[in-house]
Structure 1
Amino acid sequence: MKSVDLGRSGLNASAVALGIMRINGLADDAAAVNVLETAVANGINFFDNADMYGKGECEARFGRALRQSKIKREDILIQTKVGIVDHAYDFSKKHLVEAVDASLQRLGVDYVDSLLLHRPDPLFKPEEIAEVFDGLQNAGKVRQFGVSNMNPSQVDLLQHSLNQKLIVNQLQFGVMHTGPVDAGMHVNMSDPRSVDHDGGIIEYSRLHNMTIQAWSPFQYGFFEGVFIDNPKFMELNDELQKLADKYHVTKNGIAVAWILRHPAHMQVILGSMNLERIAQMAAGADVQLTHQEWYDVYFAAGNDLP
Structure 2
Amino acid sequence: MTKSIPLKLRDINASQLVLGCMRLGGGWDQTPITAEHIKEGHEALDAALEIGINMFDHADIYTKGKAEQVFGEVLKERPGLREQILIQSKCGIRFGDEVNPHRFDFSESHILNSVDGILERLGTEYIDFLLLHRPDPLVEPEEVASAIHKLKASGKVRYFGVSNMSQGQIRLLQAYSDEPFIVNQLEMSLKKIGFVETGVHVNQEAAKNNVFPEGTIEHCRLENIQLQSWGPLAQGVYSGRSLEEESETVVKTAALVQKLAEEKNTTPESIVLAWLMTHPAGIQPVIGTINAKRILACKDASTLRLTREEWYTLYISSRGVNMP
| C-alpha contact 1:182 1:194 (8 A) present in aligned 2 | no
Pair 1:305-2:314 in alignment: no
What letter is aligned with 2:168?
Answer: S
Pair 1:164-2:189 in alignment: no
Partner of 1:198: 213
* Aligned-partner Cα distance in 1 for 2:238–2:7: 28
What letter is aligned with 2:47?
Answer: T
* Aligned-partner Cα distance in 2 for 1:67–1:119: 30
| C-alpha contact 2:24 2:37 (8 A) present in aligned 1 | no
Pair 1:280-2:297 in alignment: yes
* Aligned-partner Cα distance in 2 for 1:213–1:191: 26
How many residues are treated as equivalent by the alignment? 298
Normalising by structure 1, what TM-score? 0.92
What's the CA shift string for 1:128-172, capped at 9, x where partnerless?
111111110010000000000011110000000001010000000
What's the CA shift string for 1:219-247, capped at 9, x where partnerless?
27xxxx73433422221111111111122
Q: Secondary structure, in 3 states, of the residue corresponding to 1:160?
A: helix
- CA, structure 1 residues 21+142, in 2 after alignment: closer, same or farther (shift >3 Å)? same
Counterpart pick for 1:38 among 47, 65, 79: 47
What's the CA shift string for 1:86-144, capped at 9, x where partnerless?
10001111111111001000001110111000001011111111111111001000000
Partner of 2:23: 22
The structure with the larger Rg is 2
Query: What residue ranges of structure 1 are gaps of 5+ in the alignment?
Result: none
What letter is aligned with 2:261?
Answer: A
What's the CA shift string for 1:14-67, capped at 9, x where partnerless?
111100000113932122111111111110000000000011111100111122
* Aligned-partner Cα distance in 2 for 1:189–1:284: 33
| 1:151-230 alignment runs, 5 A limit | 151-192=166-207, 195=210, 197-219=212-234, 226-229=237-240, 230=242
After TM superposition, give the deviation of residue 195 of structure 1 in Å: 4.1
After TM superposition, give the deviation of residue 295 of structure 1 in Å: 0.6
| C-alpha contact 1:188 1:194 (8 A) present in aligned 2 | no
What letter is aligned with 2:88?
Answer: Q
What letter is aligned with 2:114?
Answer: A
* Aligned-partner Cα distance in 1 for 2:44–2:293: 10
Counterpart pick for 1:66 among 64, 69, 75: 75
After TM superposition, give the deviation of residue 201 of structure 1 in Å: 1.1
Q: Secondary structure, in 3 states, of the residue corresponding to 1:287?
A: coil
After TM superposition, give the deviation of residue 196 of structure 1 in Å: 5.7
| C-alpha contact 1:78 1:112 (8 A) present in aligned 2 | yes
Partner of 2:92: 83
| 1:236-255 alignment runs, 5 A limit | 236-255=253-272
| C-alpha contact 1:33 1:66 (8 A) present in aligned 2 | no
CA root-mean-square deviation: 1.9
Range moving further from structure 2, 116-125 or 5-14: 5-14
* Aligned-partner Cα distance in 2 for 1:192–1:131: 38
Counterpart pick for 2:313 among 291, 296, 300: 296
What letter is aligned with 1:249?
Answer: T
What letter is aligned with 1:77?
Answer: L
- CA, structure 1 residues 264+49, in 2 after alignment: closer, same or farther (shift >3 Å)? same
What letter is aligned with 1:131?
Answer: S
What's the CA shift string for 1:247-293, capped at 9, x where partnerless?
21110110010000000011000011111110111321111111111
Counterpart pick for 2:133 among 110, 118, 122: 118
